């Protein structure tokens, strides 16, 4: 039995010697490479926190002492050390989540993948512990240097500093990266701290103490925790954190288990808020990840573990089309600039940055700032294009509403991974955007169905300078081209089928292909239909209202929330116009979704063409019955 197989709970770590821990760390890395290569997942972040996580679980008594990870994609090692070692179905339905999950373990606190939240969680837990008489329990927040660029993290630090009698340890996992190299003043400050270590003497003393104690059991930890004398001399405010009044330890080699234990034990003994600055290397111990400069190993699909190369090369995808088209637009218009929130490559802005380096602004994990900064740029004569994952726009909705739309700023939002993404679970599905953005006055939203419409609608979006525009598309490979057979006003007609009654089938974005399938299936049953793609789905166009009035039933198909989505907007617009054409909305239910593939979710929510056609045929039959003339008895 390997050392890893003997770990069932964090307490098992405290019985291991230094030599055994080093073997364990290697076993964990081998396990991660082999397992994640088979399933896909976040590889680089987890390879970088092996020793750090071991040290955290040796010093702190989880789950009584809560450990909060920010973001959760660095929690695979935590899962392994808390008894979850079956990774065969990682990120697949029925298997382990790719993030912490309370349904899996009492050791998990926050089911998060949105960055910069852990410090607020930890602050809240520490306050509750104090009020409940549990002030002797420490709370630990593990946060990356990239997540510290988020404004919410600094709001939390401001409040944490006010709680000098609350035991809260902040482990800054500093690898100089988030998805990409960390930028800004914070990154520069942390870089300066890395190059001026001042903690070496006390660290060496602590390591020698642990080594003399043999395998560091509970007695050794108790001794360290009790050493209050002189603590303030070695845990002192440094630079950036001095003004906040938060004590600082570091920098510490995050790959040295003994060094991390000493630093964490000192921080715990202090009894107030302390930052432990750990220097780590993303992708540590796996040569393809260590030598990669494009951060391809932050998250991977199924790969060959020996080489790191994908088993099946990715097909040309939506993001690649955007990447090409925005460069073409940039060549024609010098006023177009691009903004990203620490995700330059994942959202497809790397080629634009290469050609126009002075016209790209990476603001870090700070979506709120990105949106309002863009409003300022628009006011000053530029046309900003903000590229984000759709789920991350949720964090900047107030700014979209009050800073961009209220001031009629010409800002274009490009939302990647909109709709159902599946594998990463509830927080990553981009299913909220259309329902949320429907509430923004003057905003116009386009949902392209294929490559040609993505290119065309992006060009149309950046041509609008007096209101916010949105172009949203899903994750993954492009579908086949779906040309229109006609254009009726602003609406693309994709298919017409004869028969009575007439059904208007509306496909939103990639669901246009499903809408075509619905029309074909209805035609096989003798039900007439017109299948359309509105192209610009918000606000509801007069052309779409006109089409709806010409039909007996309207069916909408979207990969966002059915509640308050595009179909709901159309139904409300028809009602406001005094038109009583019934509308049946098909979309994502209003609930948080378990991790599963997009295909599985589409099937579960009855969003396949065959499912919608079956429900539509039933609705048509009911409609026919209610509109048939009533038979009256013959008079004699």
Nearest to 344 by CA among 336, 354, 334: 354
**Residue 180 is assigned to a ligand binding site:** no
Rounded Cα distance, 532 and 493, in Å: 4
**Residue 286 is assigned to a ligand binding site:** yes
**Residue 558 is assigned to a ligand binding site:** no
Q: Is 202 helix (H, G, I), strand (E, B) or coil?
A: helix
**Predicted confidence (pLDDT) per residue in 400-434, tens digit:** 999 999 999 999 999 999 999 878 778 888 999 99
Dihedral pair phi/psi, residue 509, rounded to 5°: 60, -130
**Predicted confidence (pLDDT) per residue in 553-571, tens digit:** 999 999 999 999 999 999 9
Average pLDDT on 543-560 reads: 96
**pTM of this prediction?**
0.86
| DSSP for residue 16 | -
Per-residue pLDDT, 175: 83
Chain centroid offset of residue 316 CA: 22
Per-residue pLDDT, 241: 64
Rounded Cα distance, 512 and 297, in Å: 33
Domain limits of the chain?
A: 45-73+102-287, 318-472, 486-627
Nearest to 328 by CA among 393, 374, 390, 385: 385
Rounded Cα distance, 631 and 566, in Å: 39
Rounded Cα distance, 135 and 166, in Å: 7
Nearest to 318 by CA among 226, 450, 456, 422: 450
Quick check: 237 pLDDT over 70? no
Average pLDDT on 286-299 reads: 74
Nearest to 536 by CA among 446, 620, 609: 446
Helices and strands, counts by H and E, the chain: 24, 18
Residue 178 pLDDT grade (very low, low, confident, very high; cuts 50, 70, 90): low
147 and 70 Cβ atoms separated by less than 8 Å: yes
β-pairing verdict for 336-340 and 360-362: parallel
Chain centroid offset of residue 208 CA: 42
What angle in degrees, to the nearest 10, is found between the helix axes of 566-576 and 542-549? 70
**Residue 115 is assigned to a ligand binding site:** yes
Unique residue bearing structure tokens 């790209």 = 360
Q: Is 341 helix (H, G, I), strand (E, B) or coil?
A: coil
Rounded Cα distance, 521 and 527, in Å: 9
Dihedral pair phi/psi, residue 182, rounded to 5°: -70, 140
β-pairing verdict for 486-488 and 469-472: unpaired
Token representation of residue 459: 């060009």
Quick check: 606 pLDDT over 90? yes
**Predicted confidence (pLDDT) per residue in 257-273, tens digit:** 999 999 999 999 999 99
121 and 141 Cβ atoms separated by less than 8 Å: yes
Rounded Cα distance, 300 and 391, in Å: 20
Per-residue pLDDT, 535: 98
**Predicted confidence (pLDDT) per residue in 110-162, tens digit:** 887 678 899 999 999 999 999 999 988 999 999 988 888 888 998 999 899 88
Average pLDDT on 317-328 reads: 97
Q: What is the 3-state secondary structure (H, E, C) of 285-340?
A: CCHHHHCCCCCCCCCECCECCCCCCECCCCCCEHHHHHHHHHHHHHHHCCCEEEEE
Quick check: is 282 catalytic?
yes
Catalytic residue, chosen from 395, 444, 535, 571, is 395
Does the N-terminal peptide bond of residue 539 adopt cis geometry, omega within 30 degrees of 0?
Answer: yes
Rounded Cα distance, 272 and 139, in Å: 10
Lowest-confidence region among 182-186, 298-302, 463-467, 508-512: 182-186
Q: Do 486-627 and 45-73+102-287 have the same topology in CATH? A: yes
Per-residue pLDDT, 72: 78
565 to 352, 438, 571: CA distances (angstroms): 32, 7, 10
% of the chain at pLDDT higher than 90: 66
Rounded Cα distance, 319 and 402, in Å: 29
Catalytic residue, chosen from 367, 457, 517, 558, is 367
The end-to-end CA distance of the chain, in Å, is 95
**Residue 73 is assigned to a ligand binding site:** yes
Rounded Cα distance, 472 and 465, in Å: 18
**Predicted confidence (pLDDT) per residue in 21-53, tens digit:** 999 999 999 999 999 988 888 888 899 999 999
Rounded Cα distance, 63 and 61, in Å: 6
β-pairing verdict for 247-253 and 168-174: unpaired
DSSP 509-569: GGGHHHHHHHHHHHHHTT-EEEEEE-SEEESPPHHHHHHHHTSSEEEEEEEEESTTSHHHH
**Residue 175 is assigned to a ligand binding site:** yes
Question: 493: how many CB neighbours lie within 10 A of its CB?
Answer: 15
Beta bridge partners of 338: 360, 385
| DSSP for residue 226 | T
Catalytic residue, chosen from 177, 266, 282, 296, is 282
β-pairing verdict for 469-472 and 502-507: unpaired
Q: Is 233 helix (H, G, I), strand (E, B) or coil?
A: helix
**Residue 367 is assigned to a ligand binding site:** yes
Rounded Cα distance, 170 and 545, in Å: 55
Average pLDDT on 455-482 reads: 96
Nearest to 475 by CA among 422, 548, 409: 422
**What architecture does CATH give domain 318-472?**
3-Layer(aba) Sandwich (3.40)
β-pairing verdict for 486-488 and 491-497: antiparallel
**What architecture does CATH give domain 486-627?**
3-Layer(aba) Sandwich (3.40)
Unique residue bearing structure tokens 């030598």 = 291
Q: Is 257 helix (H, G, I), strand (E, B) or coil?
A: helix
Average pLDDT on 65-93 reads: 91
Quick check: 196 pLDDT over 80? no
| DSSP for residue 204 | H
Rounded Cα distance, 565 and 569, in Å: 6
Question: 296: how many CB neighbours lie within 10 A of its CB?
Answer: 18
Q: What is the mean pLDDT of the chain?
A: 87
Residue 64 pLDDT grade (very low, low, confident, very high; cuts 50, 70, 90): very high
In sequence order, which residues have a C-beta less than 8 Å from that of residue 133 and are 6 or more positions away? none
Quick check: is 367 catalytic?
yes
Quick check: 12 pLDDT over 90? yes
In sequence order, which residues have a C-beta less than 8 Å from that of residue 554 and are 6 or more positions away? 503, 504, 506, 548, 570, 571, 574, 581, 582, 583, 584
Quick check: 229 pLDDT over 80? no
Quick check: is 247 catalytic?
no
Rounded Cα distance, 207 and 189, in Å: 27
Token representation of residue 607: 């969003």
Rounded Cα distance, 572 and 577, in Å: 9
What are the b/e assignments for 165-175, b being 16+ CB within 10 Å? ebbbbbbbbbb
Q: Which CATH superfamily, name and number, covers 45-73+102-287?
A: Thiamin diphosphate (ThDP)-binding fold, Pyr/PP domains (3.40.50.970)
Rounded Cα distance, 569 and 433, in Å: 14
**Residue 113 is assigned to a ligand binding site:** yes
């Amino acid at each position: 039995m390997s050392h890893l197989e003997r770990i069932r709970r964090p307490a098992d770590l405290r019985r291991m010697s230094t030599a055994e821990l080093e073997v364990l760390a290697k076993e964990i890395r081998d396990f991660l490479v082999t397992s994640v290569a088979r399933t896909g997942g976040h590889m680089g972040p987890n390879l970088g926190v092996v020793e750090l996580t071991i040290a955290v679980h040796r010093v702190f008594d989880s789950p009584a002492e809560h450990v909060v990870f920010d973001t959760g994609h660095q929690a695979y090692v935590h899962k392994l050390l808390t008894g979850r070692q079956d990774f065969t179905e990682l990120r697949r339905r029925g298997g382990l989540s790719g993030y912490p999950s309370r349904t899996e373990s009492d050791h998990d606190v926050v089911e998060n993948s949105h960055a910069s939240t852990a410090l607020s969680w930890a602050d809240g837990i520490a306050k509750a512990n104090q009020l409940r008489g549990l002030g002797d329990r420490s709370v630990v927040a593990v946060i990356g240097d990239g997540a510290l660029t988020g404004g919410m993290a600094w709001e939390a630090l401001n409040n944490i500093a006010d709680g000098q009698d609350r035991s809260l340890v902040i482990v800054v996992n500093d690898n100089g990266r988030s998805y990409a190299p960390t930028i800004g003043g914070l990154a520069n400050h942390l870089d300066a701290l890395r190059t001026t270590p001042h903690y070496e003497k006390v660290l060496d003393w602590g390591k020698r103490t642990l080594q003399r104690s043999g395998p560091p059991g509970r007695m050794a930890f108790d001794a360290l925790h009790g050493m209050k004398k002189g603590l303030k001399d070695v845990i002192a405010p440094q630079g950036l954190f001095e003004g906040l009044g938060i004590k600082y330890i570091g920098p510490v080699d995050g790959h040295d288990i003994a060094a991390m234990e000493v630093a964490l034990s000192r921080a715990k003994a202090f009894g107030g808020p302390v930052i432990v600055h750990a220097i780590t290397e993303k992708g540590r111990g796996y040569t393809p990840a260590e030598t990669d400069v494009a951060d391809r190993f932050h998250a991977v699909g199924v790969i060959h573990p020996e080489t790191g190369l994908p088993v099946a090369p990715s097909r040309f995808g939506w993001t690649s089309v955007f990447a090409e088209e925005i460069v073409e637009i940039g060549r024609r218009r010098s006023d177009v600039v691009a903004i990203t929130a620490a995700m330059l490559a994942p959202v497809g802005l790397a080629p634009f940055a290469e050609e126009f380096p002075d016209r790209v602004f990476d603001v870090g994990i700070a979506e709120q700032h990105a949106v309002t900064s863009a409003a300022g740029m628009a006011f000053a004569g530029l046309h900003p294009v903000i590229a984000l994952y759709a789920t991350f726009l949720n964090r900047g909705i107030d700014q979209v509403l009050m800073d961009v739309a209220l001031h009629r700023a010409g800002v274009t939002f490009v939302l990647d991974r909109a709709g159902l993404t599946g594998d990463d679970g509830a927080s990553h599905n981009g299913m909220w955007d259309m329902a949320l953005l429907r509430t923004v006055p003057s905003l116009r939203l386009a949902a392209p169905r294929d490559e040609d419409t993505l290119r065309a609608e992006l060009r149309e979006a950046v041509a609008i300078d007096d209101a916010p525009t949105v172009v949203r598309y899903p994750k993954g490979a492009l579908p086949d081209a779906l040309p229109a057979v006609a254009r009726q006003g602003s609406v693309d007609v994709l298919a017409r089928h004869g028969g009575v009654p007439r059904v208007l089938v509306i496909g939103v974005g990639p669901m246009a292909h499903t809408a075509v399938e619905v029309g074909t299936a209805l035609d096989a049953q003798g039900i007439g239909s017109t299948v359309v793609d509105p192209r610009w789905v918000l606000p509801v166009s007069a052309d779409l209202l006109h089409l709806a009035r010409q039909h007996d039933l309207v069916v909408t198909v979207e990969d966002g929330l059915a509640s308050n989505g595009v179909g709901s907007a159309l139904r409300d617009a028809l009602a406001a116009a005094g038109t009583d054409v019934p509308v049946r909305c098909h979309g994502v239910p209003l609930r948080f979704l378990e991790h599963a593939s997009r295909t599985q979710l589409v099937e579960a929510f009855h969003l396949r063409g065959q499912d919608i056609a079956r429900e539509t045929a039933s609705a048509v039959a009911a409609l026919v019955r209610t509109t048939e003339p009533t038979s009256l008895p013959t008079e004699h």
